[in-house]
Structure 1
Amino acid sequence: MKLENITELELLALLSAASVLRKQKQFELILERLLANKCSVKKIYESLLQTYLFAGFPSALISLKRLNEIVGKDKVYKGYDLKKYSKRGEKNCRLIYGNKYYKLISNVKSFSPEMAEWLIVEGYGKVLGRTGLTLKEREICIVSILSALKFKDQLYSHINGSVKVKAGFDLITRTINNLEIISAKSSAKYGLNVLREYQLKWNQKNVV
């Protein structure tokens, strides 16, 4: 598996995808490369922790347990602060969705009021608002995860989120293309198709 000339962020994104696809051999090799490159264990931990939002607790627990077996550092948890998560979540969600924020919440609330609230508190507040990774780094990892899992609507939204936090189309494209490295060619193709759809609309809106 060729991991040369891949940036740290791209490796974190690829590790996230290998985690949710349960590609254990590739996961181990990418993790080994990140640690050899002196990547912060905190960044690796945060990249894997947030996967539970998209692939569930069972998947995240497997990957976090394996990381702990290798690095074995003590973890510090500051407790649950609902008010802080709600405030931070709304701020981050507004940043990503802009003037579509209310439409998003209203739409989700129409079929699940609980999910509308949890999206803010749990997603953008408790998890995506944590320190250890920037919002840009988190969004790029999420693009990799959602391409791997082939969730179109959410992928489209997080491509938009990546653009909003100035990730750039080159980085987004490389992130999705890198899925071929872990033998997820169909996921890479799927992700690139969604990206092209987004870029087409983006170009139409931003034509001079």
Structure 2
Amino acid sequence: MDRICFVGKLANALSPGKSEELEKALATLVPESLPVDVAYEIVLQSYLFFGYAQAIESAKIFFGNLTKRGLKIPHSPDIAFDSASLRKRGEELCRSIYAPNFERLVANMAEVSPELSHWMVEEGYGKVLSRPGPTGMEREVASIVFLAISGHPVQLFSHVRGARNLGATREFLVSVVEEAGLKKPQKELIQGTIDKVFTF
């Protein structure tokens, strides 16, 4: 099984109300199937979708699980966190995922909320999603799982399309979703979205 399938499994276990599942996933997947730094980054990424409160609880479980097994928790990578650097990294990553739709995405979001438009690029993509560790495709798979669980079909469509823009095929996404261990309604939501994206 490819590493990216394990990213999907971990993303599923990071959702609210799954403390026991997260403990089991970490014990099973890290570090044998997922390097510690990659798993840690997916934990951090979850705050963009489930909020700080849930991410803090997940981080506590991550820390406790790895510490009791003698595994070292990764430190923050040596990257710049000033606003200009975050904006630059965020725009570069966001453009690579949304391709020609980037300018329209930012403009549409700015019309709804200039603050959220700014934070989406600088914080979401610049501060979190551009950090080293997971590949761009692994980040998109985690986002897809998070959005299916939280029930946001419009944003799910955007991230499935983003995965397609990064080179994912329909068959690849379907197989990754199958391995993530999602509930039937969540799998059906993703499958329907994949069908729309690949016929769009």
Q: Same fold (TM over 0.5)?
A: yes
Q: Counterparts of 2:57 and 2:176 in 1: how far apart (Å)?
A: 23
So what's the TM-score if we normalise by structure 1? 0.86
User: How far is 1:8 from its partner?
Assistant: 2.4
Gap runs ≥5 in structure 2: none
So what's the TM-score if we normalise by structure 2? 0.89
Does the aligned pair in 2 maintain the 1:148–1:188 contact within 8 Å?
Answer: no
Q: Counterparts of 1:83 and 1:20 in 2: how far apart (Å)?
A: 32
* SS of aligned partner of 2:21: helix
User: How far is 1:168 from its partner?
Assistant: 2.5
Aligned equivalent of 1:39, options 25, 34, 40: 34
Greater RCO, 1 or 2 (C-alpha within 8 Å, sep 6+): 2
- CA root-mean-square deviation: 1.8
Q: Counterparts of 1:146 and 1:24 in 2: how far apart (Å)?
A: 19
Please name the residue that 1:194 is paired with.
Answer: 193
Aligned equivalent of 2:57, options 53, 62, 66: 62
Q: Counterparts of 1:125 and 1:21 in 2: how far apart (Å)?
A: 25
Q: Counterparts of 1:75 and 1:194 in 2: how far apart (Å)?
A: 35
User: How far is 1:70 from its partner?
Assistant: 1.7
Q: What are the equivalent positions in structure 2 for 1:82-97 lying under 5 Å apart? A: 82-97=83-98
Q: Counterparts of 1:66 and 1:104 in 2: how far apart (Å)?
A: 35
Structure 1, 79-88 or 69-78: larger mean CA deviation: 69-78
Q: What are the equivalent positions in structure 2 for 1:122-201 lying under 5 Å apart? A: 122-179=123-180, 181-182=181-182, 184-201=183-200
Q: Counterparts of 1:138 and 1:164 in 2: how far apart (Å)?
A: 13
* SS of aligned partner of 1:200: coil
Q: Counterparts of 1:36 and 1:132 in 2: how far apart (Å)?
A: 14
Gap runs ≥5 in structure 1: 1-5, 202-208
User: How far is 1:23 from its partner?
Assistant: 1.9
Q: Counterparts of 2:124 and 2:40 in 1: how far apart (Å)?
A: 17
Q: Counterparts of 1:58 and 1:177 in 2: how far apart (Å)?
A: 28
**CA distance change for structure 1 residues 145 and 74 in 2, over 3 Å: closer, same or farther?**
closer
**CA distance change for structure 1 residues 173 and 38 in 2, over 3 Å: closer, same or farther?**
closer
Q: Counterparts of 2:179 and 2:73 in 1: how far apart (Å)?
A: 32
User: How far is 1:95 from its partner?
Assistant: 1.0
Q: Give the counterpart letter for 2:136 in structure 1.
A: L
Does the aligned pair in 2 maintain the 1:173–1:192 contact within 8 Å?
Answer: yes
Aligned equivalent of 1:29, options 16, 24, 40: 24
* SS of aligned partner of 2:53: helix
